[in-house]
Amino acid sequence: MNEFTFKNPMAPLWIMYPEIPQFSIGWRMGYGEQYLIDFNNWFKELSKLEKIEYAKLFPAPKIWINYYNFNYNNKSHDFEDLDDYWIETVQLWNKKGDMKYNLADMIEKFTNANNSGNNTNNSNNHNLDFIFFWKPQNNTNNTTNNNTTNNNTNNNNSNSSNTNTNSNSSNTNIDESFLSQWQKSYFTFDVYEYNCAEQYMMAEKARIFKDEDNLEKIMICDSPNEMKSLGREVQNFNSELWDKVKYSIVLNGNYHKFSQNNELRNYLISTGDKLLVEASSYDKIWGIGFESDEVEAKNPNLWKGQNLIGFALMEVRDELKGVYKYYNQINWEFINRKYNLKRY
């Protein structure tokens, strides 16, 4: 296919280069500039109805605010409400950083699934599907390479477009361990490359509290456990501010992680509507306070923890389902030739 049409379209910007932020100079002076120009010229030639349909097929992710500038019932935030979607430098997915899923809702869902309020304390009486995760794969070869980022990851102002993308590791066994924050999985956002979601989380923690010394240590660190320890040492820490932004930071980090790797994204989407549960007996904030083989793990009524990581991944999963639903309709064959990429 040697041209772009409505039926064989160009990729939206956030799918073409998911590592470049919406308002980055990388779209104006970096390797995204030419694609932005070409996309805008192509999109401008579509009819009004085609533009509306394209926006339905390829909705902007929540981290791209008000991209489609015409009347269409999409999920973009209202212009007058933008202040409700930022705290400091952290972009929020929902107004005031609200969670889409939470423990109270899961308890209600569990109770309804059992069809009997009298039996909700019986851990063996459940009709919900759970996917438990916690520990990453120990094999250091089971890591995933960054699939959709430019090779010039330290310079979004670069004019280079020599991008080797979506070259997944065929030897990687993708399973629930890749849901872990600690699982090695390389991705890039803005000018920074991360080796796991934990590194992104702790780096953002250091950034929001303006601790440059610990930020530098976190960014050169290769051990998730050490990253977590460095995160605990962040100076100028304010627990009230952290509680407001921590969940949104995890949303953003995992969106970047899973959107930039086909195998990881496809795995997460393949989990359907199952409840994703971090079965950590040590963590009562991000996990549930139980391990997966304990009977209490399958009864949200009995959880000791909030399962914030699990709920964040479920929200990321919902977002990816919509944003990437028609990924295969994109004219990747022509994109690969025209922009010297390796996509599929």
Q: How confident is the model at residue 116 (pLDDT cuts 50, 70, 90)?
A: low
Evaluate if residue 155 carries a pLDDT over 90.
Answer: no
The encoded tokens of residue 40 equal: 């805008």
Give the Cα separation of 64 and 21 in Å (integer): 8
Return the CATH architecture of domain 103-117+129-134+175-325: Orthogonal Bundle (1.10)
Q: Identify whether the C-beta of residue 299 lies closer than 8 Å to the C-beta of residue 292.
A: no
User: Which pLDDT value is given to residue 125?
Assistant: 47
Q: Is the pLDDT of residue 332 over 60?
A: yes
pLDDT digits 0-9 by tens, 191-216: 999 999 999 999 999 999 999 999 99
Distance separating alpha carbons of residues 40 and 42, to the nearest angstrom: 5
DSSP 8-class letter at 324: T
Q: Do the Cβ atoms of 164 and 150 come closer than 8 Å?
A: no
Which of 284, 271, 267 shows the shortest CA–CA distance to 129?
271
pLDDT at 342 (0 to 100): 75
> Average pLDDT in the 3-7 region?
94
Q: Is 276 helix (H, G, I), strand (E, B) or coil?
A: strand
The 10s digit of each residue's pLDDT in 233-245 is 999 999 999 999 9
Confidence of residue 164 (pLDDT cuts 50, 70, 90): very low
SS3 187: strand
Pick the range with the lowest mean pLDDT from 34-38, 64-68, 131-135, 251-255: 64-68
Give CA–CA dist 176/183, Å, rounded: 10
Give the integer Cα–Cα distance in Å for 259 and 320. Answer: 7
DSSP codes joined into one string, 191-246: TEEESSHHHHHHHHHHHHTT-HHHHHHHHT---HHHHHHHHHT-TT--HHHHHHHH
Does 131 have pLDDT greater than 50?
Answer: yes
Alpha helices (H) in the chain, listed in sequence order: 13-16, 33-44, 48-57, 103-114, 197-208, 212-219, 224-232, 239-259, 262-270, 308-323, 332-339
Q: Which residues pair with 188 in a beta bridge?
A: 193
Burial of 151 by CB count in 10 Å (0-12 exposed, 13-18 middle, 19+ buried)? middle
Average pLDDT over residues 301-328: 98
What is the per-residue pLDDT for 166? 46
Where are the domains positioned within the chain? 1-58+326-343, 103-117+129-134+175-325
Q: Is the pLDDT of residue 39 over 80?
A: yes
SS3 173: coil
Share of the chain above pLDDT 90, in %: 75
Distance CA 150, CA 156 (A): 8
168 pLDDT tier (thresholds 50, 70, 90): very low
pLDDT surpassing 50 at residue 151: no
Amino acid code (one letter) for 248:
S
Read off the pLDDT of residues 22-31 as tens digits, 9 standing for 90 and up: 999 999 999 9
Higher pLDDT, 265 or 65: 265
The C-alpha atoms of residue 128 and residue 274 are separated, in whole angstroms, by 8
pLDDT of residue 344: 64
Other CB atoms within 10 Å distance of the CB of residue 144: 21
Compute the half-sphere exposure of residue 93: CA atoms within 13 Å on the CB side of its CA: 23
User: Which is it for strands 130-133 and 90-91: parallel, antiparallel or unpaired?
Assistant: unpaired
pLDDT of 126 above 90: no
- At residue 190 the predicted structure's pLDDT band, cuts being 50, 70 and 90, is very high
| pLDDT score, position 309 | 98
> Residue 278: is its pLDDT beyond 90?
yes
Looking only at the bridges linking them, the beta strands covering 130-133 and 275-278 are parallel
What is the band of 9 on the pLDDT scale with cuts at 50, 70, 90? Answer: very high
Element (H, E) at 132: strand 130-133
What is the predicted pLDDT for the residue at 340? Answer: 85
The single-letter code of the amino acid at 172 is T
The predicted pLDDT at position 150 comes to 42
